[in-house]
Amino acid sequence: MPEKNTVSWNAMWSGYAQNGFIREARDIFYKMPNKNTISWNGLLAAYVQNGRINDARQLFDSNSDWEVVSWNCLKGGYVKRYAQNGDLSEARRLFDSMPEKDTDSWNVMLLGYAQNGFVKEARDLFYKMPNKNTISWNGLLAGYVRNGRINDARQLFDSKSDWEVVSWNCLMGGYIKRYAQNGDLSKARRLFDSMPEKDTVSWDAMLSGYAQNGFVQEARDIFYEMPNKNTISWNGLLAAYIQNGRINDARQLFDSKSDWEVNGDLSKARRLFEESPIRDVCTNSNVVWLYAEWDVG
């Protein structure tokens, strides 16, 4: 190739770099007459990926117009990338090589451990952090909850007075709702059962989780165990019955309560019926009854 453009040079040295031939990649990089962002970022990434952090730092310092604010910011990005991909040993090696770590870097490493089930490592890092912020506290708390360490989560919660939630029950109710919405009902139920005192919000979250995932019997059992039911509780079970074609059960439930808020929105009931896989003459007539009872045309 008599004349090589920048694309050709980049292709050549990146081929070496991707196969672990860092010295050859470096030699070609420094022979390039014109380097672009791809050239600089590529060699930097090759250094980092092959553990040559000092070389990476020297390269970074030799160029004043990187599109990052600082070396720490750059390394924090690599730590985050490795952690998100589950390569925690590489992430930790990079993290430990940083002489000065800002709170963002600590949080990235902590969240990497917590999200991958390494709760002890996340906890150890948390208590070594010189400065913690909301992300730090929430990250460890989520790690505890996600891995079933509810007592540890409660102790952490009680050790801090300025959480952005009203109460422990409110927090647990939020986690139950999140797990249930994602279809992870076993984890939601384990959290629910771990609560010594359950408020109506927590009961409703568990009931709705079962109902929305088609576990009508479990939703019904929760409903009848609830010490205090509200509109969400009644409507949740009613919707579950309709959505799963159990119209007779829906009618019995409706008849057992005299103060339905019928002036609300029954279009949802119509939509649930239309989406229901069970559509026969009996179902049709009973849904017509529901519309008539609620004066919805």
Which of these, 49, 56, 82, lies nearest to 71 by C-alpha position? 56
Where does a domain end: 164, 185, 219?
164
Phi, psi of 241 (to 5 degrees): -60, -50
pLDDT at site 66: 61
Would you call 258 helix, strand, or coil by DSSP? coil
* 246 and 292 together in one domain: yes
* 196 and 225 together in one domain: yes
pLDDT at site 262: 47
Tokens of 126: 């948390």
CA-angle at 50, arms to 48 and 54, nearest 5°: 55
Q: 157 and 149 in contact (C-beta within 8 Å)? A: no
* 80 and 43 together in one domain: no
Would you call 130 helix, strand, or coil by DSSP? coil
Where does a domain end: 164, 182, 216?
164
User: Which residue numbers in the chain have pLDDT < 50?
Assistant: 1, 68-69, 262-265, 272, 276, 278-297
Q: 236 and 207 in contact (C-beta within 8 Å)? A: yes
Q: Does residue 10 belong to any structural domain of this protein?
A: yes
The range of the structural domain enclosing residue 89 comes to: 74-164
